[in-house]
Chains A and B, each alone.
Chain A
Amino acid sequence: MTVQLRPEVQLHPEADLLLDYAAGSLSPALCVSVTAHLHFCDKCRAQDIALSEIGGDLLSSVGPEKMPENALEKVLLSLNSAEISDQAETIPIINEDMKKLPAFMSNIIAEPQFNFLTRSLKVAKIPIGENKYELALHKISAGGKTPKHDHRGLEVTVVLYGSFSDLDGTYNEGDFIIREPGDVHSPVATIDDECICLSVVEAPIRLVGPILRMINPFLSFSPV
């Protein structure tokens, strides 16, 4: 039996987000944020399986469309030429930050390049090839305070390592935090350890250049 040492995940994505996830329609950055949450949350993982079952049922009950006569033959031939199994060999994780994160994150990024935003806050952008949302890792040093800031678009934060708190409460590993435009807060990492979060930020359509756009969710437009 495994001993649960970490606090139970408190904040979950809504059911419709999980549905979009299982249906394969979420944009890549949001998709990664849900995968990160599922890593920590058995409840949502069970729900994801149930939602995928709907997909399986819809697949089974759809009217089949005839495949060309030689399709199977062609596929069998291509199996012969690519007999090796697709089980990706596991590359050992050497990056110290990545060692703290769920293993699947190394599929997304191998060597995050953290840059200081403030004395206690760093950000590493994760290029993922989409325009709508930006994906990044944020790291708050132990006990570090971040300036008060507001939110210009939808933001999702998933705690991957450690914990942080703001006026609304404390957030632990796995918590899936949604902020709507207009929310203002000022996160603080817990004293004893740093905190690493995955964040998804809706790319602002109007305002600012690429540097300022990286700043959310933890840096202020109005520094304290």
Chain B
Amino acid sequence: MTPLVNSSRDEWSELLTKVGNVQDKEAFSQLFGHFAPLIKGFLMKGAPFGYEQAEELAQEAMIKVWRKAGSFDEKKSSASTWIYTIARNCRIDWFRREARIKKDLKAEDLYDLVDENPAHSSLIQKRNQTTVRENLQVLPVEQLEVITKIYYEGKTHSEVAEELALPLGTVKSRIRLALKKMNIQLESLDVRVES
């Protein structure tokens, strides 16, 4: 056993690493028991999914987890974040199927799950996840509402603005304030082209 160097290393990430390294079915079963109900809950929370579709998608996502586990790197992200992106991509593909989009492109093609650019791997370190979670809880209600709607329902911030009958600028500034509060707004990102 290697010593635990990273204090934020969690048991789910260890299980997922096992699945990736040695196709450990026992580890996968534990992950399934924990994450499949969460994915189902997440999908039912916002998007227009009944329980049957949510179950189907949760299973689809977990099968993807099994197949893609080899590309999980616990130094870069945690199991919950990584599984979230898998579930998100399954939801995108579901929307595309529903819209009868013929183009045979999958969400994972649009997102580049495995970035091959070597400059990144050395620079990107896993952040301390507890900080984000705690900060999510202290967000003012109106900021939390915007953020959660975007994630749960898979809507863009402008769609959310329309739905809440708020000016786009209000939604944008709520997002900015929320990200700032969660310490994930990088200052340089306020820059954009003024043309």
**A interface residues, Cβ below 8 angstroms from B:** 1-2, 4, 10-16, 18-20, 23-26, 28, 31-32, 35, 38-40, 42-47, 49-68, 71-72, 74-76, 78-79, 82, 85-87, 102-104, 107-108, 127-130, 168, 177-180, 183, 185
Contact = CB atoms under 8 A, between A and B. Distances in A.
A43 B91 contact: no
B147 interface: yes
Interface string B88-99: 110110001000
Contact of B41 (A18, A28, A65): A65
B37 A58 contact: no
Given A11-B192, A53-B127, 5 more contacts: A2-B118, A19-B150, A24-B89, A42-B124, A47-B189
Contacts of A64: 37-38, 40-41
Contact of B32 (A26, A42, A66, A75): A75
A124 to B, nearest CB: 16
A75 B136 CA distance: 33
Contacts of A51: 184
Contacts of B37: 64-67
A18 B179 CA distance: 11
Nearest to A90: B116
Contacts of A20: 150, 156-157
B123 A46 contact: yes
Contacts of B70: 85, 87
Nearest to A102: B117
Contacts of B136: 54, 57-58, 61
Contacts of A50: 127, 132, 182, 184
Contact of A67 (B36, B67, B117, B192): B36
A128 B87 contact: no
Contacts of A168: 193, 195
Contacts of A58: 42, 84, 136, 148, 151-152
Contacts of B51: 65
A74 B101 CA distance: 28
A53 B132 contact: yes
A185 B193 CA distance: 13
23 contacts: A14-B189, A15-B190, A16-B175, A23-B151, A24-B154, A25-B159, A28-B96, A31-B111, A45-B120, A49-B77, A52-B85, A54-B182, A55-B85, A57-B80, A57-B129, A58-B136, A59-B83, A59-B84, A61-B136, A64-B37, A71-B59, A177-B193, A183-B195
A146 to B, nearest CB: 16
B63 A79 contact: yes
B175 A19 contact: yes
Contact of A85 (B59, B67, B88, B110): B67
